[in-house]
Structure 1
Amino acid sequence: MFEEVTINSKYIYKGTILNLRVDEVQLENGRTSSREIIEHKGAVAIVAVDGEDLIMVRQYRKAVEGELLEIPAGKLEDEDPLECAKRELKEETGYSADRWQYVCDFYSTPGFSNERMFLYYATDLKKGEMNPDDDELIKVERVKLQEALEMLKRGQFKDAKTIIGVDYAIRVAGI
């Protein structure tokens, strides 16, 4: 089992979504190294299934300079992950769900971030009004599960949470 011992830690940036710190660490071989770490409060992602359709969102992502088709997701705001998932599904898509199932949690990019994402499977959906954040320009799209499988095979999904979520939905559906 490997371990790195933090010798020194310095914050470079503190923001509303994330903090950036640089840690000086001692390795087991006696050498020292530095690690740039992004601290994040965590997030949720929702696999929302309505019959044979996945409810997805298309939005521009500045970090990758392009539009992505994704499963709905959002940041934790000092709340229970399931409550956050319910809030985010409603805000981003207008849908609410009567049935919720925890799927898993995972680190999105553990090489440099502690962001932990909680994935939920939502069914028995009811359509309502969207209420996205002021800075979110979102288009809701319904994608047939069979088409989502083909898109997955073609490598059209580019973010990890969507790849994991779509794969899960396809397995549940038995496709």
Structure 2
Amino acid sequence: MSFKLDEKTLQEDLKYTGDFIKVVRSTVELPDGRVGYRDIVRHPGAVAIVAIKDNGMILIVEQFRKPVEKILLEIPAGKLDAGENPMEAAKRELEEETGYSCSNIQYLGKIATAPGFCDEYIGIYKATGLTKGETDFDDDEFINLKEFTLEELKDMVRQGKIEDGKTIAALQFI
């Protein structure tokens, strides 16, 4: 047996507008005809980069994440600016956060980060042919750059030392 699953949006009310996210309350018609409500974070989307040096080392950024109150290890990533080409955004974020530029970049796939309450998708890219340059952090960004082998990263995931979802998902593409 198969069920109809789609929900029809009847109304959407803006509840909050931040620097780059919006929060809306959607009134929906459920598959069985009843009315339900969904609180949704609207996000412009993002990119994340698995940057692999010629020696096989993968660049990882270490930064404090306030929502979880801890320092996390992650692949470089960032949000899309309005109208920005995702591949260009990936190159920009790589350079801003690591100081490296790349001569090769390849789209690997995308992930829905938290589809129960957020519409954000992150495009995952692989960057190779890296050349060291200068970082260009945002004013409120404080990042340490680390390097690990793929096997070290996979071990760190298994040990719970890497908790970031986009990083764990991206390693599956490599």
Instruction: Say which of 150, 153, 158 aligns to 2:155.
Output: 150
Instruction: Say which of 30, 33, 45 aligns to 1:27.
Output: 30
- For residues 46-125 of structure 1, the aligned pairs below 5 Å read 46-50=49-53, 51-78=55-82, 79-125=84-130
- 2:42 partner amino acid: E
Q: Report the 3-state secondary structure (helix = DSSP H, G, I; strand = E; otherwise coil) of the residue aligned with 1:2.
A: coil
**TM-fit CA distance, 1:14:** 1.1
Q: Which moved more, 1:156-165 or 1:135-144?
A: 156-165
- 1:63 partner amino acid: P
Unaligned 5+ segments in structure 1 are 170-175
**TM-fit CA distance, 1:28:** 1.9
Q: Report the 3-state secondary structure (helix = DSSP H, G, I; strand = E; otherwise coil) of the residue aligned with 1:114.
A: coil
Is the Cα–Cα contact under 8 Å of residues 8 and 29 in structure 2 kept in the other structure?
A: yes
Cα deviation code 1:65-119 (max 9, x no counterpart): 1110000000100200000000000000000111111000121111111111110
- 2:143 partner amino acid: I
Q: Report the 3-state secondary structure (helix = DSSP H, G, I; strand = E; otherwise coil) of the residue aligned with 2:93.
A: helix
Instruction: Say which of 7, 18, 21 aligns to 2:21.
Output: 18
**TM-fit CA distance, 1:152:** 2.0
> Which contiguous aligned blocks of 4+ residues in structure 1 show a shift greater than 6 angstroms?
none
Normalising by structure 2, report the TM-score. Answer: 0.93
**TM-fit CA distance, 1:167:** 2.8
Q: Does 1:165 align with 2:154?
A: no
Among the aligned pairs, what percent are the same residue? Answer: 43
The alignment of Structure 1 onto Structure 2 pairs a total of residues equal to 169
Q: Aligned-residue CA RMSD in angstroms?
A: 1.1
Q: Which moved more, 1:103-112 or 1:151-160?
A: 151-160
Query: 2 CA distance for matches of 1:110 and 1:164?
Result: 15
**TM-fit CA distance, 1:144:** 2.0
Q: Does 1:137 align with 2:150?
A: no
Q: Report the 3-state secondary structure (helix = DSSP H, G, I; strand = E; otherwise coil) of the residue aligned with 1:41.
A: coil
**TM-fit CA distance, 1:17:** 1.5
Unaligned 5+ segments in structure 2 are none
- 1:72 partner amino acid: P
